[in-house]
Amino acid sequence: MAGVHRKIILWICDGMGDRPHLSLGHKTPLQYARTPNMDRVAALGQCGIMDVIAPGVTPGSDTAHLALLGYDPHEIYTGRGPFEAAGVGIDVREGDVAFRCNFATVKDGVVVDRRAGRIKEGTETLAKALDGMVIEDVEVIFRAGAEHRGALVLRGPGLSPDVTDGDPHATGVPVPEVKPTSPEGEKTSRVLNEFIKRAMETLSSHPLNAEREKKGLLPANAILPRGGGVVPHIPSITEKTGLRVAGVVGVTLVKGICRATGIDLVERPEFTGGADTDMMGKAREAVKALQDHDMVLVNVKAPDLMGHDDRPMEKAKTIEKIDEAIGYVLDNMPGDTIFALTADHSTPCTFKEHAGDPVPLAIYGRGHRFDNVGKYDEISCAAGSIGRIRGMDLLPILMNMGGYSKKYGA
């Protein structure tokens, strides 16, 4: 088999790790759910648990996916802004300074609603009115994201992320003046304040907002930027590993990680990043994408949402839906594919937030080692032959199983 490269699927159930829940008889949603296909991966493969960043450390979805793709987030993660911007489709470049933004409603200089009445439509049109602006010698790139969200990229010389947010994170207060947090942030704060001012002028007089007000809706007449970060140098995953990777992903932030690391996105409007996502569609696209890629990353977001909302029974049901989709993949992928099943972090229902509890991991590959674990869950997997590893160790393990690993030494 030496020299033969095998395909890899890395299936990530966002926020799936959990804790025992009273309403499930002190089982975790994963322990409670009927998951014959996940259990098939566990039974035929090797199991373990994984600290995606490090033991006890609570991962974000962005830092977690970076680690699972073999990037050290401590080296390259500079904040959410750059990945959010890449997620909405901006072709970010090293040195750009990027911000997450909200469309908001401001009256007489005071923030009335940080989400512009949870605006759902028209933000792309509004974004176009702001995109391409030039302030001093700085190019402004602006794109709408999902719902009330957007992303702002500043491109030019002398920029820095060392500035305060242009978002008060509260209502009933004025839009704050952006201030530098170091001498390097001086120019950026000036440009950002000017952008906020011009955006307010442009949006206030935009016909789309006049229409909204006619309908009794709050106008999206201001932009509140936050979470600024400089776009780091990120070698593509193909440069780093030689692997051509596809991503079947709905949620914007993880799409951003994919774009920033050179992963080809398979995009469909049905892949919403929500509970209503087309799970089986993702499974079909994952199998298809194997044809012209070495590895496919799949992210299904729904378990995380149920965790944030403390809905353990719905989390278990969602896991059962995912299990069906995994069944399709197992039945339709090339027989020698390496299939890895894990989560990017735990989102325990009882905690309603990301937590640092380790996630379960199972890896199946025909002809590879298998252990005695027959059930895929947080506790059963801990008894498996993989033991306890860190997120950054996963990709090298998968590459080894797929025959891509290069000898270190002679």
Which residue ranges make up the site for a copy of itself (CB under 8 A)?
A: 1-2, 19-20, 28, 49, 53-64, 73, 77, 80, 227, 253, 350-357, 367-372, 378-379, 382-389, 393, 395-400, 403, 405-410
Residue with smaller CB distance to a copy of itself, 203 or 253 = 253
Judged by beta carbon, residue 251 or residue 279, the one nearer a copy of itself is 251
Nearest distance, CB of residue 257 and a copy of itself, angstroms = 10
In the bound complex, what is the minimum distance in angstroms from residue 383's beta carbon to a copy of itself?
7
CB of 155 to a copy of itself, least distance (A): 22
Q: Decide: 48 and 41 in contact? Cβ < 8 Å.
A: no
Strand pairing of 46-51 and 359-364?
Answer: antiparallel
Nearer to a copy of itself, 60 or 122 (CB): 60
The CB-of-54 to a copy of itself minimum distance in angstroms stands at: 7
Q: Which is nearer to a copy of itself, 84 or 285 (CB)?
A: 84
For residue 51, the minimal CB distance to a copy of itself (Å) is 8
Q: How far is CA 107 from CA 70, 113, 212, 222, 319, in A?
A: 46, 9, 15, 10, 44
Cβ atoms of residues 330 and 40 within 8 Å: yes
Give the number of other CB atoms < 10 A from CB of residue 297.
28
Is the Cβ of residue 156 or residue 391 nearer to a copy of itself in the bound state?
391
- Using DSSP's 3-state secondary structure scheme, residue 302 falls into helix
CB nearer a copy of itself, residue 44 or residue 133:
44
> In whole angstroms, what is the distance from residue 147 CA to residue 121 CA?
7
Q: How far is the CB of 304 from a copy of itself (least distance, A)?
A: 12
Rounded CA separation 115/100 (Å): 13
Q: How far apart are CA 25 and CA 33, in angstroms?
A: 12
Q: ∠ at Cα 70 (64, 76), nearest 5°?
A: 70
Instruction: Note whether 231 and 98 are within 8 A (CB).
Output: yes
Q: Which is nearer to a copy of itself, 197 or 369 (CB)?
A: 369
Give strand ranges (E) for 97-252: 97-107, 110-113, 134-135, 138-144, 149-155, 222-230, 245-248
Provide, rounded to whole angstroms, the least separation between the CB of residue 286 and a copy of itself: 22
User: Tokens standing for 158?
Assistant: 């002398």
